[in-house]
Amino acid sequence: MIVDYGVGNLGSIQNMLTRLGAIVEITSDPRVIERASKLILPGVGAFDAGMGQLIRSGLKSTLDDAALVRKIPIAGICLGMQLMTESSEEGTTPGLGWVAAKAIRFNPDSDEIVKVPHMGWNTVTLAKNSPVLQFVDKDARFYFVHSYFVRCENAGDVLLRAQHGLTAFDAAFQNENLYGFQFHPEKSHRFGKALLRGFVEMV
């Protein structure tokens, strides 16, 4: 299931999952989400706006139950990843708080020739193995568009790392059933398709 809370790039994710043979539904119905075996929480835009949408839509409590009680696999993409953390420097609204982490703004040194937002293709390095990465090549690269990045409090949660200028950041995390991807798998061609295949096929 892809969670529709009004701030996601839903169609592209659904199309890639469909090409993998997955039967996937886009929904904002809590009753449907309650029956889901896996969820994807997408998102683009501002942190406070995203959390506001989750709260106003009434989905927050349903998602909390899925993440923390039923413990089904949930993948957060871009803003969706950041919303899974405790907070963001972008806003004042608390995040979902599922993972001990915060979203921090890129702040390049004045002598760095880097742009914010970090936008385009970038390579990643493996921090730990995971079934979600079982089909991903070692030379994988992914497409990023973001001005804020996640910093995990626990190094053991970090799945992939990347670098923008002098700043190293956590490009993906896994904490038990919870997965976060700062990049956009749906825009990352065969690399993103391999990642989503891992999410779809893992038990």
* Nearest CA-CA partner of 74 in 180, 152, 203, 193: 180
Cα separations (Å) of 154 from 12, 103, 169? Answer: 32, 14, 13
Amino acid identity of residue 15, one-letter, is N
**Residue 88, strand partner residues:** 103
Degrees, nearest 5: CA angle 53-144-7? 15
Question: What is the distance, to the nearest Å, from the Cα of residue 64 to the centroid of all Cα atoms in its chain?
Answer: 16
Whole-angstrom Cα distance, residue 124 to residue 50? 26
15: tokens are: 């199309």
81: tokens are: 């990843």
- Residue written as token pair 């995040």: 95
105: tokens are: 């703004």
Which active-site residues does the annotation give?
78, 184, 186
